[in-house]
Structure formats: structure tokens, C-alpha cells
Structure 1
Amino acid sequence: MSPIRAHSKSRFAGRSLSVGRLVFSVAAASLVSAAVAVSAVLPAFQPPVDGAPVDSRWFAGYYDVTLESGEQLARSPLGDSAGGAVLAFVVAAADDECTPTWGKAYSLDQAAQLFELDRRVERMQREGRPLAVSFGGVINTELASACSNATELTASYRTVMDRYGIDVMDLDIEGEMLTDTDASLRRAQSVAALQAERREAGGSLDVWLTLPVAPYGLTPDGLLQVEGMLDERVDLTGVNVMTMNYGTDGTAAPMSSLSIDALQATASQLTAIWKERELPLPEGGVWSLLGATPMIGQNDVAGEVFTTDDARAFNEFASTKGVARLSMWSLNRDQTCGSNYPNLTVVATSCSGIEQAGESFTTILTEGYEGTPSGRPAATTHEEVVSDDPTTSPYPVWSSRTYYSAGVKVVWHGSVYASKWWNEDGPTPDDPSLDAEGSAWTYLGPVLASDVPFALPQLEPGTYPEWSEKTLYDQGDRVLFEGTGYEARWWSQAKDPSLSVLDRDYSPWKLITDG
């Protein structure tokens, strides 16, 4: 993946069923159906249908953190459902570098600086909207592969989970990582160690294992991943199956039918695994251990399309059985593609590839899923209006007497806002009489304890001549003003260079950032 992203390579690219696997899948699905008929004879193996308690069933779509930069990500609604969102994907910085990054495109610090991820997470948590973090995915190097030992891997996991204050971990294992036995062992040992740490500290860590699935259920490699976690005494919260990209020609059956077959088969497999290890199933039975993640709209397999009707049928089945978790790939794609995107069979990262007619997959799949990922109520914070201190604020404090260009960030009443368009002397950024569309400002999130006070870059005295209001400046001239360097954009005289920091449109000066 490039420093930004690779549009041509889908998140789930390369994972589909071969013809042989498909034939086996259909046959296996028939066997599953036959097994249900025999269940009256062997009731011990029939998965209970009670499912997860209604108030603990949750929906949270995946959000690809690497797809946006600047202020777009900060403005996007990261999970309007009660279950919030699953932030994806944390991977290694390099094949042999055990440093967590977002999709290898951004370090954790870069994500905080470029699109305010830390602030956005804190905002959601204060508003009572929970989050989970997903590690892995099919693209880039998974941390369990890059880290040389379990201790190192545990530290990387801890860095991410502690930084964002999140207690739900999603492990997306697919592709080559399914057969890497050394990495699988490190992963299981590290997760078990981190869970133990959290328990000793009086906290918790919920762990979901996300795996590819076929209509006949989990693959043998996927089953080994589940067994490996249990063998290392990981308290596995559940198994989330990726109900997508089956490798059919799109005519074998609706995607919802194939996905329902996959869930039923997986339920039987998990029941058998828990029985073999003499582990008690949750009170609601095996369905309390299950999650499902369809790929909305056009799948990577050209003939496979998950429609809004599929979403309704799938949600109805999941609700009836009491499936604990529903997700989708992805929140970024939950909209109809624009008319300038001509080839809808090529998966787009920012739209579904189908006509949604104003409907939202999120709304459909959320029906009946109003819980939170951890099952614990999300805490909300009520804070008093604070007085802003310019010496400690991460951005300049807003003033009605200043001009602001689009994209400029300010602090007001303990919160950070970004300007949506050029403005001056308008309502305060937190004016309660304005809705989000009518305000010139976008709320990004609260000022954080970890924020560094705003300061302009300083240069050595004599680097450039000192600015003078009496001097006539031409384009390209450079000056120092209060220790900061500025470059003239066009002819000017007596124009304060420091105003260009906030007014980038009309000031004849621009801040020098290259020294």
C-alpha cells in the first residue's frame, strides 16, 4: 500500500472460493441441513437458539482509518449506532518492525496529527459511543508476524489499546496468517497475557476472532485459530465470520442465503469445539459467541452483490437466532456511488457499488442491535464550560476579530473546531442555535491532556531580515517576525505577517515551515 492507499486493491482482495471449494461448500451445506434433521436423535449437538440477550446484541461497522486525511475523517460520523465503530486496521510498520501503525500508512502519532484520531476517539467516548480496534486484515504485515516474540507483541497490543482507552479487541486473521503457526502461537499467548494484565488491574479485555468463512462453515485453518486461542486460555468473547466473497458466479443463491448457511454451519462447529474441551457455552448458547460481517454492495467477487434486501433477510435471521454481533465492511462504503464512477463491478472504497435508493445498510443491520461491544454501558461525560488558556491550548483560541480560512483549527470552551469556510466575526463555534450544516465550524473533539501547546516555529535570529511595516515587499521575499519566518506571496506593505497563520486566503504572507 502506498503512503496514502491503494485504491485498486480491495481490503479483502484475493480471498474467494475455488471451484473445488465451492462444490465442497454446496455439498457440505447439504450435510449441515441433513445434520439438522438428525438433531432430534442427537440433541446434544444442536446449537441452542436462545442467543445473546437482546440488550447485549450490538452492531458496529468497520471504519477504514487509512482512507481519509486532513479534516474529512475528523468530520465523518464514526459510528452513529449504539455499538459505535470498529477502527481498522492496525498492522506492523514493516515486515520485521514490531511497531503498530494504521494500515502501514500512518503511525499512531501521525494519525493524531493529520486527522485528529485521538481527539475523535475521545469525543466518541465522552458522548457514550463505544469503539473497538481491529488488528490484521489481508493487506500488509500483521503484528504477530513482525514481532519476534510474545512479549514484544503484547507490548504493541498494549500500546494501541491503552492509547485509545479501548477494551474490545478484534483480531482479523486471513490470508497467509491463517497458516503461520508461529505467529498464531505468539498472537494467542500475547492476547492471553494482555487479558491477564487487564484483569489484575481491575479492567477487562474482550477479544473477538474474525475469520473467513464458506457456506459450509469455517475452514480447517480457521478452526485451528479458534482452537489455538482456547488452548492458550484466551477468554474468547466470540468468533466473527466474514460472510462475503464466496467465489460463486452470483447465481447459486442470494448472498443472504449463503451467509445464513455459513452462520448455521459455524454454530455447529463451535458447539463441537466447546464440547470437546468441556467448556461451558454462554447462557444464550453458541449464538452468543457468534458475529457476522457482510461486505455490503459489490463484493470482491464480481458476481456477488449483497443488496439491501439481503441485509434485511440477514438481519432477520440474526435477530431470530440471537447472533451476538453484526458488523459490515464498511462504514466508508455505505452510500450509492456517484455518477462519475462508471464501473460498479470494481469495488470502490467509498461507496457500495449499488443503488441504495436512500437506504443505509447501517440502519438496516442495526435493527434489533442496540447494545455495546463490551456489553457494558458506555459512559458519558458531562463537563462544565471551561475558560481557554492560550498558553496551553493546542490551537489558537477563537476570536471574533480574526479572519479564518477553511481548514484552520481553533480552541473554544475546551473543544477543538475546524473552519469549514473563510469566515470572520460570526457566531461562536459552539453556538447552540446553529445546526452542523449552518455553522462555519466543525466540532472535532475535546482538548486532550496530551495536547502540546500551540507555538509557531522559531528560527535563529538573522536567518532572514526582520519585517518592517515601512518596507515594500515583493513576491518571494522572506522575513522574520517575532522569531517566525514568513514568505511574501505578492506585493505588500505594512501587512502583519502573523495574520497569515489563520487567514491563508487573503494575507500576502505565508508561514515558512521548511526552515
Structure 2
Amino acid sequence: MATTRRLSPVRVTIAVVVAAAVAVAGYAGFDRWHSARATERQPAWFAAYTDVTATPVFAFEDVKSTKGRNVMLSFVVADHDDACSPTWGSYYSLQGAADQLDLDRRVARLQQQHGEVGVSFGGLANDELATTCTKASDLLGAYRQVVDRYDLSTVDFDVEGDDLTNRAAGERRAKAVAALQEERRAAGHPLAVWLTLPAAPTGLTEDGTTAVAQFLAAGVDLAGVNAMTMDYGAAKGSSQSMYSASVQALQEVQRQLGVLYQRAGTPLGDDSLWHKVGATPMIGQNDVRDEVFSLSDARKLNAWARDRGLGRMSMWSLNRDTTCGSNYVNLSTVSNSCSGIDQDGLLFADVLGKGFGGGIVAAASDVTEAEPSATEQPTDDPRTSPYPVWDQDASYLEGTKVVWHHNVYEAKWWTSGDLPDDPVLSAYETPWQIIGPVLPGEKPVEPLTLPDGTYAAWSGTKQYDTGARVLFHGIPYQSKWWNTGDSPEASTSDPDGSPWVRLKDAEVRRILDALASGEPAPSATATATPAS
């Protein structure tokens, strides 16, 4: 998220993430264990980001609603002249903010009204401390200085831009945060740590998943990953709503977290993973001109998030939670002090925060523990599967559909021996795309057939040239090369070695339409396409 001094550029995510969730039913004891674990967690909470260095100064301590009472103060970054000194937005030292902005006093005033604060490090416009402070002890000291001064129970690392692509800085950050968290826990003052990362409908970028992996490898007990559901750019479909794009992004983030925790040796169930997901939309006009997050989007996202059990809801920003005045004419340009839409007297904080009744302080007591997982996978029955059950010894052409663990997958390219539900983070790691679950009552999909005589029936003694078409039990096939004696039926288990390829259903339908209109079937030397 940008500070008020600079607008965020369009973050167009190129990482394409495969939706690889596996539907697993049953296992009552496992479900009961998850339910018991869920009751031990602290309630989900809401806190809006507040830009401390915004001009004019925003009075976050002047609480407009109960949902605006918890705030995430933003952003602590490195001093331009002193790499290891924490500052607010690079403009004020911690003491300078107390002297010139009355920040410490205003925080105390908010706390008098039963409000709570967290602090966010980073943002887009400046250097996060780990990027410039290369000495481990100094970096730890800088983080400790902020946490101690404001007596924090929750910190947030908004890592984006150059800070996110800097892998060495990511390692330093993770190790320092792990050490600080251990210090606080040993002293009886636990510290909740959130990573806030750019997200698209395809999920976190590769740099984002790396940042999470670095924290887990360093031993950080992550409270969760907060997805910036904003500024999608080309990653959002032209007709897709901001609500729909946000839901898609959060679903992918939750799935990616499952893979990351599994790889880190701490497997978690779905409920626990959702509790580790946060959402932060940019209210009203986004930095991308054609993207506007409306109050309707906010209502729907809030309802969906509560239903899924997200652990956190935030927004960028509390400073902007008001209708622009008449002096602000160009509403398609982001304002630092208004949303750019007519809010009709409503507050985004009230809409997004509905049902998120937990507190920032209480949430710090959550501890992540590995959870037992179901040891058995559902068995696929060919009699109730719409497509053939995946076989590790078979090869599959692009477009081929299979069933595995009660889900339908489609091959994106030729594959053999690759598990359809192998947990992956990005599309290039798997040749399979999940289509959806096997539905109740489904039966094997019968391939489309053509009337006898449309093409000659296959004969084991006849020679066939490239492009020749035949019928085998009414199913049309086309020859890929000269052959004789090779049954088209073998193409199912050995699509590469077989000289035959079954025509796609769409092509068969075109032939049927042509026949129904009295037209002849396409030439036997027409170009063939593989079957779906």
C-alpha cells in the first residue's frame, strides 16, 4: 500500500496459480478435532490502516465508530540518512513524531477509548528497515525499539515493490522478527506477526510465497498473511467485479498457505488456514483508474469473509473513509483523504468490520500448532466418475480430462506420471488444471458417436494414410501417420505411441450438425484435433 506521498503504481501480477484444492469428505474424528481447535482461537478482528504522515493530519484518536477504534498505524520505514533508524514515513523519528505529531499522546487517547493500535512496517514508497539495515543486531534493535515504545502486541510487515524482490532483505527480516517474537514470548508479552503482501485473483506472486516461506523457515509463528485485494490491473477480468476478484484472490492465498505450511512441516487444516488469511481492500477508487471498490463490494466481501472464517479484515485506509467534498473534482484520481465515491453517510469501517469483534491485543496469544490430517484419500470409482480415473502409467495429451480423489482435472500439456493434486504454488509446477469436484450421481461420460457410414469402420488389415478418418464402435478417429493394424482403442492408454487420435467433441458436434443439414461429412483428410 502506498503512503500519501506517492501513489501506488499498477501492480500487474504475472504469476498464475493453479487452483488445486482437494475435496475430502468424512473423517468425523478429524472434523471434531478441528472444531475443538477452532474454539480455542481468538476471535477474528478488524483494524483499518491509518497513514500517520498524511497531510492534513488524520485524527484517528477521534473515534467515529466502534469499528474504527482499532487502527494499524502506517508506515515505519528506514531513515534515508541512518539505515537502521526507524522513522514514520522517513519524515519523523519516533521521538519526532511524538513531538511534532503528538503521536504518543494520541495513541494514549485512543486507548482511553478502549481502542488498540498495531504498527505496520514497510509500504511501497520507502525502504523497509531490513532492506537497508544489514547488521542483524541493529535490525533486531530497530524493530524492538518500535515494539517497546508503543507496547505492541501486533505488528504488520507490508512488503512490496523492491523490498519484496530483495531476497537477502527477506532473510534478514525473517530472522530478526523470529528473534524479536521469541524475546517477547519469553517475557510474557506475545507478539502477533502478520505479513501483508500484494495479491491478484491468481494469488500471491512467487516473491510473495517466498517471503512467507522465509518467515516460516526462520521460525516465525505467523499470525497470518494479509492479502492486498486491490490494484489488480490486467490480472482482473474486464467484467469481473472487485468483490469477485477479491474472493478469487483470497481463495488462492488460503490454498497457497496450505502448501507452504505443509512444506514447512506444519500441516494445517482448512479452518486454521482461513484463520490465517486477512483481507485489505482499498476502499472506493483504487490506484487503477477503472477499479472501484464500492460499499456493495464491501458488504459482500464482509459476509463472505465471516462465512469462511478469515482471521482479519482491514482496509486502506481510515483516512479515506469519507465522501469527497465539492472541491475534489477528479474522483478517478485517488485522494489521500476521501474515497472517491458517494458513501451516503456510511463508513466502510462499519461495513467491513461487521462481525469482526476480536481485538488486536488478544489475537497475539494465538499459537500455531501442526494438526493431524486425514491419512486416507477418497477412492475413485470408475462407475461413478465422469472421466477415466488417473493412472500413473498412462500418458495424457493436452485437453484430456481425468478424475482423481473426487475431482476432475484437465491436462494443460502432455503429461505422464504427474499427480493431478500434487500441492504446488504456481502454474508452471503442474500440468494439471482442476475443473471442479465430481458431482453426486455422475456416471462416465459417453463419447459422442457418428452414424454408421459417416466414415468407414476401422479394419485391422487396411492401410491408412496420414489424415484418414475411421469409426471405431461409432467413435471417430483420425490418423496421425501412416499405419496398419494399430487399433484406435489403444490411443486411450498410449496417446503418444498410437497413430490414432479421437476427434474432439466440438468437432463431432459440427459433423453431426452438417449431417443434419444434409451436408456431407468433412473430408477424411481434414485436420484432426485431440479429444477432450
Q: Which interval holds the TM-score relative to the shorter structure? A: 0.5 to 0.7
Q: Which residue of 2 aligns with 1:227?
A: 213
Q: Which residue of 1 aligns with 2:80?
A: 94
User: Cα–Cα, structure 1 residues 73 and 373, in superposed 2: closer, same or farther, change >3 Å?
Assistant: same
Q: Which residue of 1 aligns with 2:351?
A: 364
Q: Which residue of 1 aligns with 2:262?
A: 275
| Amino acid paired to 1:192 | A
| Distance (Å, rounded) in 2 between the aligned partners of 1:341 and 1:189 | 45
- The alignment partner of 2:84 has SS state of strand
User: Cα–Cα, structure 1 residues 80 and 64, in superposed 2: closer, same or farther, change >3 Å?
Assistant: farther
Give CA-to-partner distance per residue, 1:201-220, whole Å, 9 cap, x none: 12111100110011011111
The Cα shift of 1:250 comes to 7.5
- The alignment partner of 1:356 has SS state of coil
Q: Which residue of 2 aligns with 1:320?
A: 307
Q: Which residue of 1 aligns with 2:199?
A: 213
User: Cα–Cα, structure 1 residues 261 and 355, in superposed 2: closer, same or farther, change >3 Å?
Assistant: same
TM-score for both structures, normalised by structure 1? 0.65
Give CA-to-partner distance per residue, 1:117-151, whole Å, 9 cap, x none: 10111222343311110000011111111212121
| Distance (Å, rounded) in 2 between the aligned partners of 1:161 and 1:182 | 23
Q: Which residue of 1 aligns with 2:415?
A: none
Alpha carbons 1:91, 1:143 under 8 Å: kept: yes
Q: Which residue of 2 aligns with 1:132?
A: 118
Q: Pairwise CA RMSD of aligned residues?
A: 3.0
Asked if residue 330 in structure 1 is aligned to residue 317 in structure 2, the reply is yes
Superposed, 1:371-410 pairs within 5 Å as 371-375=358-362
Q: Which residue of 1 aligns with 2:232?
A: 246
| Amino acid paired to 1:333 | R
User: Cα–Cα, structure 1 residues 85 and 281, in superposed 2: closer, same or farther, change >3 Å?
Assistant: same
Alpha carbons 1:83, 1:371 under 8 Å: kept: no
The Cα shift of 1:189 comes to 0.8
The Cα shift of 1:199 comes to 1.8
User: Cα–Cα, structure 1 residues 100 and 372, in superposed 2: closer, same or farther, change >3 Å?
Assistant: same
Asked if residue 39 in structure 1 is aligned to residue 23 in structure 2, the reply is yes
Alpha carbons 1:73, 1:115 under 8 Å: kept: no
Superposed, 1:449-468 pairs within 5 Å as none
The Cα shift of 1:107 comes to 1.4
The 10-residue stretch of structure 1 (252-261 or 268-277) with the greater mean CA deviation from structure 2 = 268-277
Which protein has the larger Cα radius of gyration, Structure 1 or Structure 2?
Answer: 2
| Distance (Å, rounded) in 2 between the aligned partners of 1:244 and 1:63 | 17
Q: Which residue of 2 aligns with 1:17?
A: 12
Unaligned runs of 5+ in 2: 366-532
User: Cα–Cα, structure 1 residues 192 and 122, in superposed 2: closer, same or farther, change >3 Å?
Assistant: same
- The alignment partner of 1:237 has SS state of strand
Alpha carbons 1:17, 1:247 under 8 Å: kept: yes
Asked if residue 103 in structure 1 is aligned to residue 89 in structure 2, the reply is yes
Alpha carbons 1:98, 1:156 under 8 Å: kept: yes
Alpha carbons 2:3, 2:125 under 8 Å: kept: no
- The alignment partner of 2:232 has SS state of coil
Alpha carbons 1:294, 1:329 under 8 Å: kept: yes
- The alignment partner of 2:134 has SS state of coil
User: Cα–Cα, structure 1 residues 250 and 262, in superposed 2: closer, same or farther, change >3 Å?
Assistant: closer
- The alignment partner of 1:56 has SS state of coil
| Distance (Å, rounded) in 1 between the aligned partners of 2:341 and 2:47 | 21
The Cα shift of 1:317 comes to 0.7
**Identity fraction in percent:** 45
Q: Which residue of 2 aligns with 1:462?
A: none
Superposed, 1:425-504 pairs within 5 Å as none
| Distance (Å, rounded) in 2 between the aligned partners of 1:320 and 1:371 | 16
Unaligned runs of 5+ in 1: 379-515
Q: Which residue of 1 aligns with 2:246?
A: 259
The Cα shift of 1:273 comes to 1.3
- The alignment partner of 1:89 has SS state of strand
Give CA-to-partner distance per residue, 1:468-488, whole Å, 9 cap, x none: xxxxxxxxxxxxxxxxxxxxx
Give CA-to-partner distance per residue, 1:337-392, whole Å, 9 cap, x none: 111111111100000011111111000011110101243599xxxxxxxxxxxxxx
| Distance (Å, rounded) in 2 between the aligned partners of 1:276 and 1:374 | 30
Q: Which residue of 2 aligns with 1:115?
A: 101
Asked if residue 340 in structure 1 is aligned to residue 335 in structure 2, the reply is no
| Amino acid paired to 1:219 | T
TM-score for both structures, normalised by structure 2? 0.63
| Amino acid paired to 1:209 | L
